[in-house]
Amino acid sequence: MGGVTGCGSGPAEQGNAATGDKKAVDSGEAVTIQWWTPNWDEPESREMAEEFEKDNPNIKVELVVTDWDTYKDKITTAISAKGAPELFTILLTDVKPFADKGLLEPLTELGTKAGVDFDDILAPALDITSVDGQAYGVPFRYDGSGIYYNETMLKEAGYNEFPKTWDEMLEMSGKLSDEGKIAFAWPLGNQANAVTRFVQQLYTYGGEVLNDDETKCLLDSDEAVTALENIVDTIKEGYASQSSSEIDNTKMREMFGTEQLAFNLTGPFDVDSLKTDYPDLKWKTAVIPGDGGMACTTANGWCVAMAQNSEHKEEAAKFMAYITKPENQARLTDSFPASKTAMEYEKFATEELKPFIEQLNNSKPEPAYTCWSEVEPVIYSYLQSAVSGDITPKEACSKMAKDINAMIGM
């Protein structure tokens, strides 16, 4: 196999933005556009569709509700066919793989003409949804991880605030362990959750999964070994839950809420969930401790994209501009919007959310490689083997690199 066969190059050639549009609006005839939106956004999405239709009687919006487990496969199938849905909500990191296959409509010119303010989008979020300077998605949410900690449990261990460095966190975890308490857990029972935590550790030490042109795996490195050792050793020492291999992010939130864990690493979206589900829990938030200071978090979010094979692109772009207005971005997220204007709204300036905003100063996008769906299972398999003790972290990283390089043609 050639070096670039396994991952990918740039987007395939695109047609003109509005070539396939029917001239329905010019004739006064109503057109129907589809928006595939996730179930957690359904109430707000329906409100926006109704509002937009009221102001644009010649454009009808049909919603198709997706879910986390199946959205990517279903959208991939739908947008590969003729007459694809006009708009759909996908992860920021889904954009490049879709664009590289020629499935997405370029949006910089089309979106700007329709009223999308790309200058108001946070640069890191827009970078993820752009290929060769062309936007293929309009971000409306962008966030990373942070720390939630149990105030009572930390005070009992002698801490009034969360440690600032990894070593200090390990010291605190040891004190909690001595008291018979579990400091934290790793979500190793879920592939995406587990690999994300490994990549966050990897980024903190300056490592990378692949090189810039996606032709070589870089996991046979000291940075990768240290990242994996941090996971393996904290479980071995009893600082992290011995059940880590069986749990995911959802279970970890439950364990933190029921005081089985002293702290938890997750996103800002858990703020409201904790307040609702565990009203008596006393907790605060902090940035993630790393090697000598704040660690690096992976960041991702959601955007609205347009199918290259869709019909009513100009009408869809008009609705896209409405969806991604600052005030509507604020409605669509329980974490952070991707709009600079919306980020200044009062609802995002709470004490609980401030550390998550600070943490974004040391953030990198989650991997968005064209071949990530093939790379991630390889990492997960050897991560599990290292945690179970079948191989050492160094052996695991070497095997990851060897297998991934063979897959992408090195």
Report pLDDT digits (tens) over 292-334: 999 999 999 999 999 999 999 999 999 999 999 999 999 999 8
Write phi, then psi, for 300 (nearest 5 degrees). -155, -175
Domain 146-298+367-409 fold: D-Maltodextrin-Binding Protein; domain 2 (3.40.190)
- Taking the C-alpha atoms of residue 364 and residue 146, their distance in angstroms, rounded to an integer, is 14
Position 335, amino acid: S
User: What pLDDT does 16 receive?
Assistant: 42
| Residue of 210 and 371 predicted with greater confidence | 210
CB 71 within 8 A of CB 79: no
pLDDT higher than 60, residue 19: no
pLDDT higher than 90, residue 13: no
The two tokens of residue 354 are 């401030």
- What is the average per-residue pLDDT within 19-30? 54
pLDDT higher than 90, residue 28: no
Tens digits of residue pLDDT in 198-237: 999 999 999 999 999 999 999 999 999 999 999 999 999 9
CB 249 within 8 A of CB 187: yes
User: What pLDDT does 34 receive?
Assistant: 98
Helix/strand/coil (H, E, C) string of the chain?
CCCCCCCCCCCCCCCCCCCCCCCHHHHCCCEEEEEEEEHHHHHHHHHHHHHHHHHCCCEEEEEEEECCCCHHHHHHHHHCCCCCCCEEEEEHHHHHHHHHCCCECCCHHHHHHHCCCHHHECHHHHHHCEECCEECCEEEEEECCEEEEEHHHHHHCCCCCCCCEHHHHHHHHHHHHHCCCCCECCCCCCHHHHHHHHHHHHHHCCCCCECCCCCCECCCCHHHHHHHHHHHHHHHCCCECCCHHHCCHHHHHHHHHCCCCCEEEECCCHHHHHHHHCCCCCEEEECCEECCCECCEEEEEEEEEEECCCCCHHHHHHHHHHHCCHHHHHHHCCCCCCEHHHHCCHHHCCCCCHHHHHHHHHEEECCCCCCHHHHHHHHHHHHHHHHHCCCCHHHHHHHHHHHHHHHHCC
Burial class for 174, CB neighbours closer than 10 Å (0-12, 13-18, 19+):
middle
Count of C-beta atoms within a 10 Å radius of residue 227: 24
pLDDT higher than 50, residue 5: no
The two tokens of residue 28 are 């006064």
Give the start-to-end residue ranges of the domains of the chain. 31-144+300-363, 146-298+367-409
Q: If pLDDT is split at 50, 70 and 90, which confidence band does 410 have?
A: low
Q: What is the mean pLDDT of the chain?
A: 93
User: What pLDDT does 228 receive?
Assistant: 99
Tens digits of residue pLDDT in 276-303: 999 999 999 999 999 999 999 999 999 9
Tens digits of residue pLDDT in 62-86: 999 999 889 999 999 999 998 899 9
Q: What angle do CA 344, 321, 106 make, to 5 degrees?
A: 115
- What is the average per-residue pLDDT within 27-56? 94
User: What pLDDT does 18 receive?
Assistant: 42
Tens digits of residue pLDDT in 137-154: 999 999 999 999 999 999
Q: What angle do CA 344, 350, 356 make, to 5 degrees?
A: 80
- Taking the C-alpha atoms of residue 258 and residue 277, their distance in angstroms, rounded to an integer, is 10
Domain 31-144+300-363 fold: D-Maltodextrin-Binding Protein; domain 2 (3.40.190)
What burial letters (b/e) apply to 200-213, b meaning 16+ CB within 10 Å? Answer: bbbbbbebbbbeee
Same fold for the pair 31-144+300-363 and 146-298+367-409: yes
- What is the average per-residue pLDDT within 98-111? 96
Q: Report pTM.
A: 0.83
